[in-house]
């Protein structure tokens, strides 16, 4: 989506600036190489620096620090960057490894004269150990990146595999510290690399100790369960220490220690105390099993709040006409918005609720009553009756807020981009892998 493109540009710019800093440090502090092996050494050093910096930032984002989440505009955007950092690190690692193997290939082709190394049998070497550890780490990282890209395993198993990144990162740090020339550490780029590695090591150790998101975790209990149309389940919780949230934010809900936490939008505004409501649709084995397993009084753990899908009604001024679009269970943030709005809105709002048929629309009576009170025009589109969302038929708006299936959102944004004055398009990406 358009709102995520700038992260790719920022990542590319950061890598380019690192390369320029490397060249500058060479010009000021380190002699220039004068043969192939010296150039290979410097290029391996540059790719290694880029690689460990990418991995360090990825490790830091992976522990979900709230200050970075707010800076990035939402956990979904931060995790999108986390994924891109992983892909970039995989590509950089492949380049680093190819440089390491290049002399052997060039010698076999006759393009490079053989180079004989002195043989030291049975002599322990920290350099040799660091090289071996780096090779082991490289195999694991490349395997994990490929699995992540191809989505080869279920989310639950991937969540366990993902934990391998922390020890593998520490192996990479060991490899880098031993093999980086001492002179490099006394350059400004060396200082920056040291700081990045210290932050990454802190994050890796926190991850290994199970502290990811620990400062945002709050315990509580289930106070109510209610079945809703459309194969949805409403779960009400009471969290005595909950710090509050903005309407439209989401949280990671941990109902089963073995299964781990899953992201769900908070379907209620903050009433000033720790009472939260979640609306969960049975989309997979885990969510489908909740209705039969959950009971009032069971303990829960909620991590958050996260997300930036909050700019419409929760104490924020509205700028021009608004269009809200919900697809299926994507209605949940709008339920919170409607609850948070305590007086008629000052700008025109059209709310499109896309469902298979009205009987499957969750909380439809509640939505209709709130829309009447707030002066919002509600449009319920039933696909069983041939009613489809048509971007051309949407009224002119300064902002379009969308929550629903990814394909529908992508299509809607592409159609809106063709308007003479495209509206700002807001949405969240709930894929956390």
Q: What is the C-alpha to C-alpha distance for residues 294 and 109, in angstroms, rounded to an integer?
A: 66
Looking at residue 431, its pLDDT comes to 61
pLDDT tens, residue order, the chain (433 aa): 444 455 566 666 776 777 777 776 666 666 666 778 878 888 888 889 889 999 999 999 999 998 888 888 788 888 888 988 898 899 999 999 888 888 888 887 777 777 766 666 666 788 889 999 999 999 999 998 888 888 777 777 888 888 999 999 999 999 999 999 888 888 888 898 999 999 999 999 999 998 998 889 999 999 999 998 888 899 999 999 999 999 999 999 998 777 778 899 999 998 888 899 999 988 877 888 888 899 999 999 999 899 888 865 655 556 788 899 999 889 999 999 999 887 777 889 999 999 988 888 888 999 999 999 999 999 999 988 988 888 888 888 888 999 998 888 888 988 898 887 888 898 877 665 5
Q: Quick one: which of 303, 325, 300, 302 has its CA closest to 312?
A: 325
Question: What whole-number distance in Å separates Cα of residue 413 and Cα of residue 424?
Answer: 9
| Structure tokens given for 420 | 């003479």
Q: What is the pLDDT of residue 29?
A: 63
Instruction: Tell me if 141 sits within 8 A of 96, measured CB to CB.
Output: no
Distance, in Å, from the CA atom of 162 to the CA atom of 305, rounded to the nearest integer, reads: 23
Residue ranges covered by each domain of the chain: 2-115+123-208, 215-306, 322-426
Residue range 322-426 in CATH 3.10.580.10: no
In whole angstroms, what separates CA 113 from the centre of its chain?
A: 47
pLDDT, residue 60, reads: 94
User: 2-115+123-208: which CATH architecture?
Assistant: Up-down Bundle (1.20)
Neighbours of 238 (CB within 10 A): 15
Nearest-angstrom CA–CA distance, 283 and 267? 17
Q: How many helices (H) and strands (E) does the chain have?
A: 12, 11
Give domain 215-306's CATH architecture: Beta Barrel (2.40)
Tokens read off for 30: 């380190």
């Amino acid at each position: 989506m358009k709102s995520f493109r700038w992260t790719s540009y920022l990542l590319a710019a950061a890598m380019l600036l690192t390369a320029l800093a490397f060249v500058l440090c060479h010009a000021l502090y380190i002699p220039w190489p004068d043969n192939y092996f010296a150039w290979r050494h410097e290029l391996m050093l540059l790719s290694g620096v880029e690689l460990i910096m990418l991995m360090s930032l990825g490790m830091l984002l992976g522990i979900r620090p709230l200050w970075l989440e707010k800076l990035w505009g939402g956990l979904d955007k931060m995790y999108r960057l986390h994924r891109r950092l992983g892909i970039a690190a995989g590509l950089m690692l492949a380049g680093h490894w190819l440089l390491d193997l290049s002399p052997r290939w060039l010698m076999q082709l006759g393009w490079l004269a053989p180079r004989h190394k002195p043989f030291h049998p049975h002599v322990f070497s920290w350099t040799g150990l660091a090289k071996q550890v780096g090779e082991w780490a490289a195999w694991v990282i490349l395997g994990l990146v490929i699995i992540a890209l191809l989505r080869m395993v279920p989310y639950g198993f991937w969540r366990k595999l993902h934990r391998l990144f922390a020890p593998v990162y520490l192996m990479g740090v060991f490899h880098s510290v031993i093999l980086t020339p001492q002179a490099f550490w006394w350059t400004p780029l060396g200082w920056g690399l040291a700081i990045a590695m210290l932050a990454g090591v802190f994050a890796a150790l926190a991850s290994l100790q199970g502290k990811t998101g620990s400062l945002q975790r709050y315990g509580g209990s289930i106070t109510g369960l209610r079945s809703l149309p459309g194969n949805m389940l409403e779960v009400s919780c009471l969290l005595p220490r909950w710090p509050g949230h903005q309407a439209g934010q989401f949280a990671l809900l941990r109902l089963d220690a073995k299964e781990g936490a899953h992201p769900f939008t908070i379907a209620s505004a903050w009433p000033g105390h720790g009472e939260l409501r979640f609306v969960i649709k049975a989309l997979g084995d885990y969510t489908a099993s909740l209705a039969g397993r959950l009971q009032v009084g069971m303990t829960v753990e909620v991590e958050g709040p996260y997300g930036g899908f909050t700019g419409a009604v929760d104490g924020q001024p509205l700028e021009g006409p608004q269009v809200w679009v919900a697809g299926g269970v994507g209605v949940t943030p709008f339920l919170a918005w409607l609850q948070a709005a305590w007086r008629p809105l000052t700008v025109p709002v059209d709310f499109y609720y896309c469902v298979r048929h009205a009987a499957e629309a969750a909380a439809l009576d509640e939505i209709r009553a709130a829309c009447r009170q707030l002066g919002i025009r509600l449009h319920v589109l039933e696909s069983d009756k041939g009613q489809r969302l048509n971007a051309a038929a949407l009224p002119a708006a300064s902002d379009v807020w969308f929550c629903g299936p990814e394909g529908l959102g992508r299509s809607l944004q592409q159609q809106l981009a063709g308007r003479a004055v495209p509206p700002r398009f807001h949405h969240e990406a709930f894929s956390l892998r």
